[in-house]
Structure 1
Amino acid sequence: MMPRDTIRSTRLEARLSPEVMVVIKRAAELQGRSVSDFVVAAAQEIAQRTIEETSVIRLSLEDQRRFVDLLINPPEPSPALQRAAQAHAELIKSQ
């Protein structure tokens, strides 16, 4: 949540249906906040949650086991990967 003494210099506007405004006002009242404070806090909370959820990769148990197995027992490099590694090594040598 934002500290109350934070200087606010950016404005956000939104068009709402009357029904949505009634719900937001009621929720703000229940938390003892102004509508503006409630909307800012709610938007910040869901924005942070969205950012956190997209930065975590979730794997099934089977996928976790496969991932670890490939780390422990990596497959042999394919011919294409071997050529790419060789090209990279030659590029680095020439610099």
Structure 2
Amino acid sequence: MATTEPIARIEARIAPELKAMFQTAADIENITLSEFLCKSAREAAQSIIANHNVLKLSAEDSRAFAEAIVNPAEPNEALKAAAKRYKQEFGSAS
């Protein structure tokens, strides 16, 4: 964080054993309990967000995706009909 003053407050009720474990970890890192909790929560949130925003494909799926990009299939009748309806509803994209 750019500032050492808190700009928002979060409260949580946790078991005393869990608080003691967090405090031990903070002591090992030589930081305050608040710093430890903020750092840990930030890292966890960044990881969750990154995992949510990244599409991971198997090698087989990656090859199939690349092949579809390089050699796209011809549009079928359903896709042509959907495109026609879209153009009628929204006009053509220019």
Same fold (TM over 0.5): yes
| TM-score normalised by the chain length of structure 2 | 0.86
2:17 maps to 19
2:52 maps to 54
1:72 maps to 70
More contact order relative to length (CA 8 Å, sep ≥ 6)? 1
Flag structure 2 segments of 5+ consecutive residues without an equivalent. none
Provide runs of 4+ in structure 1 moved above 4 Å. Answer: none
Q: Pairwise CA RMSD of aligned residues?
A: 1.5
| TM-score normalised by the chain length of structure 1 | 0.86
Please report how far the alpha carbon of residue 59 of structure 1 lies from its aligned counterpart in structure 2 after TM superposition. 0.4
Deviations 1:61-90 (A, max 9, x none): 000000011111212212111011112223
The number of aligned residues is 91
